[in-house]
Structure 1
Amino acid sequence: MWFCRFRQAFVALLLPWLLAVFTQTAGRTYLLSAYGSNEILTGFDADVTRMFWLGGLFDIRIASLLFVPCLLMAALLAVSQRSFHFWQRFWPWLAALLSTLVLTFTVGNIFYYATYDRAIDVFVFGLIEDDTVAVLTTMWQDYPVIRGLLGLGLFALLVFWLYRRWQRRLSAKPERRLSLPIGVLSTLLILAIGFVGMRGSIGTFPLRQSDAQVSDLKMLNMLTPNGLMALNWAFKAHSENSHFAEATDQQGQQLLSLFLDKPTPAGLAPFMAKTDLNPMAKQTPPNVVFAVMESMGYYLEGYDRPDRDLFGALRQHWSSDWRFERFISEGDGTIDSLSRFFVRSPMSGITQSSAQYLDFTSNMFKPWLANGYKVIFVTSGNGSWRNLNQFLSHLGVSEFIEQNGLKKRYPEAHLGTWGVPDEFMFRYIEERLAEADKQGEHVLIMSMSTTHHPPYKTPNNYQKTQLVLSSEEKQRMSNLATGTALDEVMQTLRYANDQLGQFISWVKSQPLGSRTIIAATGDHNIRGIGYPDPHERVLGHGVPFYLYVPPSYRQQSHFDATRVGSHKDIWPTLYQLSLSDTPYYKTGCNLLAEHLDDIWCQGYNPEAVITPQGAYLTDNGEYRPWVSNKGLLLGEPQRMTPEQQKQFNRWSGFTDLLLWQLNRQVHGQQ
């Protein structure tokens, strides 16, 4: 009788198992049809097939991990008729819950891809670690939450009804006794199939994250895992983000020797450098303002036209001052980029980790603090976001101004989802610069804006301009927003640019403008548009780097707009402009040097490394030259020369090197 009951439980659970596989496959199919145009997928037929094959194996693995334990539970309860009867009544409830869970994360993965152009990853924990209320408000405004919840509820009721019917049908069938050999063999076969299903593979290793790399086309790699599998990897990445591994001498020597292209002993000494003598900066230390602008990406700049003004007051400075266009963000999220700016941490959770109180050797504010600067951080957002207010105070930031302080100072400021409008942040910076000038202080002010962030909304008193997009442009950005929502995206971009431009104009109009350096960049390119075309792989990370340097501080500078760079190069460039003979922690290069450092002077993002000639894509090992001598579009893949292969190998290990130096500091190994 046990074998009969076990077989019935297997047949009963086969239905929700199949539905789980179908649901996840359907989600993948929808994403491919919605975001994979014929133009993009041309020539990738074999990769699409491989994506569905391996994706299906991931779906089988998830379905098996959910329902094979249920089968084992049924096996234990099948020892008696009474306990098995309890199982027959209980499993439809459990299966309905698990089926709804699968659908929830399948739909969640679809919306996540629509927003971030990738499967669920470690940034999903922003729901908890960001301003949770603001994140939920954004979700409420940007997604059909009510319809989604109603749909999930209806689905749960429907599958529960289906499973109950299925169980009644199975119970109505007369039990057929099995001989002992057949019963044992069928049980072992079922368990073996279940075991293989939970592994997703009959090879040495279970199906794992590296198996999701099925194509040179990033989109296909992102569609291969299902929502629950991607969430599992996100949990692992988040856990690793809270763990600081031992930074061994052997590992450090290998990483340093590879990157520096010469035998190098383990230690932090290779990261120590010193600025050149700078008589002007020594005699009259300049103020430095570094504005990090939310989603100021390279891509949307291209939508500016003579009859479509996306820059406002920033335009005159954008065209006349120094600006690097072949420039990329080092992080692909706000906190990811900020953690690198603060302490050169590739771990975005560093501000909330056990190491948050560490005296980092890589504290990027230390060179200014050593020269008597007051370091000020101003954000139009919430100061407790990601624990920034606490973390930055331990780095030497003596003044931390955020939305509540700005609201108190400027009562007319309306407090929105992510903070107050950027204009109040810039107004405060103006007033603080004027105060510093009056008191004879020299200050470093770093700011983080928030207005150009979903849910997009310009201040009520802002005078909007007409920004008409063509049907092709609307279609290109339909993944990001449509209709009036898309117009608001463009309006908030213009508003943020305009406020930055008005601030720069104010500085230049003041006497203090002759001794104030201004830098600006985006924290990351705008997300949600989607950059599935391999030729746009760098474009997805593109941000500008703008510099205003008063004439008296330019003597040792050699500006060349064709130079490439990334976030890692901003601090070294500002150090050289404003500090004389000052030690600093070097993980980037001075973009204004007469002769660029061949070791450090390339643009770096964990997914792409850019050079003056082209880009290396680290996930698939490709090298692609630029299409032209301007812009960030890539051409077709080319075979690497031995020198290019060497350069690719160096930068492929850069994230590991950054992790090693961070762990070295955490463990107190200098």
Structure 2
Amino acid sequence: MWFTRFKQDFSLLVMPWLFAVIFPFLGRLILLFSYVDAENRLHYQHDVWQLLVTGLRFDIRIATLTFGSLLLFSFFTLFSTKFTRQWQKLLTLINPILLMVIALFTLINIFYYITYDRYIDVFIFGLLDDDTTAILKTIWSDYPVIWAVLGLTLLGYILAKLCRSWQYWVIKSITKTTPNWLALPACLVAVALIVIGCRGSIGTFPLRESDAQISSYAVLNKFVPNGVIAFDWAYKAYKNNNKFMDIPLKESQQALATFFQQTQPNDVTIFMQQTAANPVADAHPPHVVFAVMESMGSHLFRFDNPQRDLYGSLRQHWQQDWVFNRFVSEGDGTIDSLNRFFVRSPIDKISQSSAQNADFISNMFKPFKAKGYKIVYITAGNGAWRNLNRFLPHLGVDEFVEQNTLKEAFPDATISTWGVPDEYMFKYAEQRLAQAEKQGEPIMIMMMSITNHPPYQLPPNHPYHPYSFTPQELTRLKNMGNEDEIRTMFNTFSYSNDQLGRFISWVKAQPLGSHTLIAATGDHNIRGIGYPDPAELMLSHAVPFYLYVPTTYQYQTLYDKTRIGSHKDIMPTLYQLALSSTPYYQTGCNLVALKLDSPWCNVGYNPYVTINQQGAYALINNTFQPWQDDTGLLVKPVTTMNEEQQQTLARWQSWSLLLHWQLNQQISTDKKH
């Protein structure tokens, strides 16, 4: 009789197990047919097959972990009719709930890809770590929340009905007894199937994250994991993101030797350098302004034309001053890029971690503090975001200015989802520069804008441009919403650029303009557009780097717009221009040096793609794509690497490890003291 009850429990779980496989598989098909055109599906048909097979294995693994564990638990109820009946009633409640969870994660994974061009990853926990209320407002504004809730509610109702009907049919239909000599082997087979299903593999290793790499066409790899397994990977990464474990000595030594191509001591002091003597900066230290602009990606600038002005007041400065276009952000999120600037941290939670109070020798402000600069950080957003209002003063920021300070200084400023409009940040910077000039003290100002961020909202009292788009442009930008939503996004992008341009114009018009350096870059490329075309590998991470250097301070410099770089190069460039004979932590290149001769130079580093004068290297996929032309941002198809290119790939893959190593070294050294 016990095996009859087991057969009933097994059957009760078969139907929800099947749905648990079907839901994410359908989600994968939706992504595949929405974001891979027929031509590429045909060209990569073998990889598409691998996608479906491997994806199905991941689905089976999650379904078996979910419902197989319930079957194993049912063994404890088999020898009591009373307990079995109670368990079976409970299953009719548990099964639809678990199916709803799987359906929900499938839906989240689809919209996550639409927004971020990848499956669920650690950035999803920004809902907890960022301004939760603001993010929820963004979700409410940008996604069909009501329809999703209604659809899931209807699905839950249907599943509940199906599970009850299925239970009634199973208990009524499965009543025949089975002899023990057949029952016991059948149970063992069931257990073995559960084990295999939970592993997703019959090989040595269970199905792992690395198994998601099934194609050289990176888009297909992003569809392999289902929402639940992707969230599990993200959660593990999130937990590990707050841990600072030592990298084995042998591993770090190998990485150092690979990067520097010679043996190096296992000590972060190898990164300590000193700027060259600069008599101009010695005689009159310049003010330094560094603006990090929200989502100022290179891609949207490509949509500028005579009928669609996306530069505004910035255009004249873009044409007159120094701009590097073959340039990538080091992080792909705001806090990721900022913390890499602040302390060279590849861990984006460093400002909220147990190490937030460490004495980082990589602290970007230390060289300026050593030369007597007053440090001011201005954000148009909320100062408590990511604990920056505590972290930055610890790093030496003398004045921390955020949305409430700006609102107090400019009562007409309105606080929206993420903060006040960018113009007030720039107005405050103007006042602070004027004050520093009057007091005769050098000042270093770092700014973080927020207006060009979803939900896109043009500040009041600013003209709304009725931009028009071609059908091809609307198709290319369809992930960003309908035509009105795309138009609003272009308006906020243009607004922020214009406000930056107005600020630069103000500086240049003042006497202080003759001794003020201005640098600007994007924190990351605008997210959500999607980059399924392999030719756009680099474009998806591209941001510009703008630099205004008054003629007097162009001492021992050379501007070559074809030079290649990334965020790692901005501070070394500013240090060399502004600080004479000053120690600094070198993990980048002076982009305007007369001669580029360090291992950091003419390379743009991002953890996913690294670029040099030959082309773009996908660090995750181990591939190389040469440039299509001498100055553009598009690349050709994957080609076989020569020995030099293989060394370049290996060098910058090792740098990803060394970034973690050097951070760990700093933290562990600080703890010893």
Q: Deviations over 1:351-408 (max 9, x none)?
A: 1000000010110110000000011110100110011111101100010000111111
Per-residue deviation at 1:42?
Answer: 4.5
Per-residue deviation at 1:465?
Answer: 2.4
- Match runs of 1:313-462 below 5 Å: 313-462=313-462
The answer for the alignment partner of 1:650 in structure 2 is 651
Q: SS where residue 52 of structure 1 aligns?
A: helix
- Which one-letter code corresponds to 1:333 in the other structure? G
| Separation (CA, whole Å) in 2 of partners of 1:294 and 1:42 | 38
| Separation (CA, whole Å) in 1 of partners of 2:147 and 2:204 | 44
Per-residue deviation at 1:205?
Answer: 1.0
- Structure 2 vs 1, CA of residues 82 and 212 (structure 1 numbering), >3 Å: closer, same or farther? same
| Separation (CA, whole Å) in 2 of partners of 1:29 and 1:330 | 32
- Which one-letter code corresponds to 1:366 in the other structure? K
The answer for the alignment partner of 2:617 in structure 1 is 616
The answer for the alignment partner of 2:257 in structure 1 is 257
The answer for the alignment partner of 2:636 in structure 1 is 635
Q: SS where residue 355 of structure 1 aligns?
A: coil
The answer for the alignment partner of 1:146 in structure 2 is 146
Matched-pair contact (CA < 8 Å) for 1:539–1:633: yes
Matched-pair contact (CA < 8 Å) for 2:8–2:174: no
Q: Deviations over 1:113-146 (max 9, x none)?
A: 0000000000000000000000001001111112
- Structure 2 vs 1, CA of residues 150 and 458 (structure 1 numbering), >3 Å: closer, same or farther? same
| Separation (CA, whole Å) in 2 of partners of 1:656 and 1:188 | 45
Per-residue deviation at 1:469?
Answer: 1.1
| Separation (CA, whole Å) in 1 of partners of 2:437 and 2:248 | 47
| Separation (CA, whole Å) in 1 of partners of 2:150 and 2:638 | 47
Q: Deviations over 1:565-617 (max 9, x none)?
A: 00000000010010000000011111111111341111100111100121111
| Separation (CA, whole Å) in 2 of partners of 1:401 and 1:37 | 48
Query: Mean alpha-carbon deviation: is it higher for 348-357 or for 628-637?
Result: 628-637
Per-residue deviation at 1:630?
Answer: 1.5
Q: SS where residue 584 of structure 2 aligns?
A: strand
Matched-pair contact (CA < 8 Å) for 1:113–1:120: yes
The answer for the alignment partner of 1:271 in structure 2 is 271
Gaps of 5+ in 1: none
Per-residue deviation at 1:640?
Answer: 1.5
Q: SS where residue 148 of structure 1 aligns?
A: helix
- Which one-letter code corresponds to 2:612 in the other structure? T
Matched-pair contact (CA < 8 Å) for 1:308–1:466: no
The answer for the alignment partner of 2:188 in structure 1 is 188
What is the TM-score normalised by the length of structure 1?
0.99
The answer for the alignment partner of 1:668 in structure 2 is 669
| Separation (CA, whole Å) in 2 of partners of 1:386 and 1:7 | 52
- Structure 2 vs 1, CA of residues 248 and 57 (structure 1 numbering), >3 Å: closer, same or farther? closer
Matched-pair contact (CA < 8 Å) for 2:287–2:516: yes
Per-residue deviation at 1:656?
Answer: 0.4
- Match runs of 1:49-128 below 5 Å: 49-128=49-128
Per-residue deviation at 1:251?
Answer: 3.2
Q: SS where residue 18 of structure 1 aligns?
A: helix
Q: Deviations over 1:538-588 (max 9, x none)?
A: 110000000000000002111100010000000000100100000000111
- Match runs of 1:238-249 below 5 Å: 238-249=238-249
- Which one-letter code corresponds to 1:657 in the other structure? L
The answer for the alignment partner of 1:481 in structure 2 is 481
The answer for the alignment partner of 2:569 in structure 1 is 569
- Match runs of 1:458-469 below 5 Å: 458-469=458-469
Matched-pair contact (CA < 8 Å) for 1:252–1:265: no
Q: SS where residue 603 of structure 1 aligns?
A: coil
Per-residue deviation at 1:247?
Answer: 4.3
| Separation (CA, whole Å) in 1 of partners of 2:563 and 2:481 | 33
Per-residue deviation at 1:249?
Answer: 3.7
The answer for the alignment partner of 1:169 in structure 2 is 169
| Separation (CA, whole Å) in 2 of partners of 1:427 and 1:64 | 59
| Separation (CA, whole Å) in 1 of partners of 2:627 and 2:468 | 30
Per-residue deviation at 1:40?
Answer: 4.0
- Which one-letter code corresponds to 1:620 in the other structure? N
Q: SS where residue 528 of structure 2 aligns?
A: coil
What is the TM-score normalised by the length of structure 2?
0.98
Q: SS where residue 666 of structure 1 aligns?
A: helix
Gaps of 5+ in 2: none
Matched-pair contact (CA < 8 Å) for 1:380–1:402: yes
Query: Mean alpha-carbon deviation: is it higher for 650-659 or for 36-45?
Result: 36-45
Matched-pair contact (CA < 8 Å) for 1:309–1:467: no
Per-residue deviation at 1:468?
Answer: 1.2
The answer for the alignment partner of 1:31 in structure 2 is 31
| Separation (CA, whole Å) in 1 of partners of 2:586 and 2:92 | 60
| Separation (CA, whole Å) in 2 of partners of 1:615 and 1:90 | 55
- Which one-letter code corresponds to 2:604 in the other structure? G
Matched-pair contact (CA < 8 Å) for 2:6–2:75: yes
The answer for the alignment partner of 1:224 in structure 2 is 224
Per-residue deviation at 1:248?
Answer: 4.5
| Separation (CA, whole Å) in 1 of partners of 2:486 and 2:557 | 40
Matched-pair contact (CA < 8 Å) for 1:247–1:661: no
- Structure 2 vs 1, CA of residues 430 and 332 (structure 1 numbering), >3 Å: closer, same or farther? same
- Which one-letter code corresponds to 2:89 in the other structure? R
- Which one-letter code corresponds to 1:638 in the other structure? T
Matched-pair contact (CA < 8 Å) for 1:250–1:266: no
- Match runs of 1:197-236 below 5 Å: 197-236=197-236
| Separation (CA, whole Å) in 1 of partners of 2:639 and 2:250 | 34
Matched-pair contact (CA < 8 Å) for 1:361–1:585: yes
Matched-pair contact (CA < 8 Å) for 2:212–2:221: yes
| Separation (CA, whole Å) in 1 of partners of 2:232 and 2:581 | 48
Per-residue deviation at 1:483?
Answer: 2.1
Per-residue deviation at 1:428?
Answer: 0.3
- Match runs of 1:504-653 below 5 Å: 504-601=504-601, 602-653=603-654
Matched-pair contact (CA < 8 Å) for 2:589–2:598: no
| Separation (CA, whole Å) in 2 of partners of 1:213 and 1:162 | 36
Q: Deviations over 1:396-452 (max 9, x none)?
A: 001000011111111111110000000000000001000100011111100100000
Q: Deviations over 1:152-179 (max 9, x none)?
A: 1111111011000000011112511111
Aligned length: 670
| Separation (CA, whole Å) in 1 of partners of 2:7 and 2:245 | 47
Matched-pair contact (CA < 8 Å) for 1:519–1:546: yes
Matched-pair contact (CA < 8 Å) for 2:4–2:174: no
| Separation (CA, whole Å) in 2 of partners of 1:173 and 1:308 | 69
Q: Deviations over 1:319-369 (max 9, x none)?
A: 111000000001000011001000000001101000000010110110000
The answer for the alignment partner of 1:281 in structure 2 is 281
Per-residue deviation at 1:255?
Answer: 1.7
Query: Mean alpha-carbon deviation: is it higher for 635-644 or for 351-360?
Result: 635-644
- Which one-letter code corresponds to 2:175 in the other structure? E
Matched-pair contact (CA < 8 Å) for 1:247–1:664: no
| Separation (CA, whole Å) in 1 of partners of 2:638 and 2:530 | 21
Per-residue deviation at 1:204?
Answer: 1.0
The answer for the alignment partner of 1:10 in structure 2 is 10
- Which one-letter code corresponds to 2:357 in the other structure? Y
- Which one-letter code corresponds to 2:164 in the other structure? R
Per-residue deviation at 1:636?
Answer: 2.1
CA RMSD of aligned residues (A): 1.1
| Separation (CA, whole Å) in 1 of partners of 2:269 and 2:411 | 49
Q: SS where residue 619 of structure 1 aligns?
A: coil
- Structure 2 vs 1, CA of residues 33 and 612 (structure 1 numbering), >3 Å: closer, same or farther? same
| Separation (CA, whole Å) in 2 of partners of 1:213 and 1:666 | 33
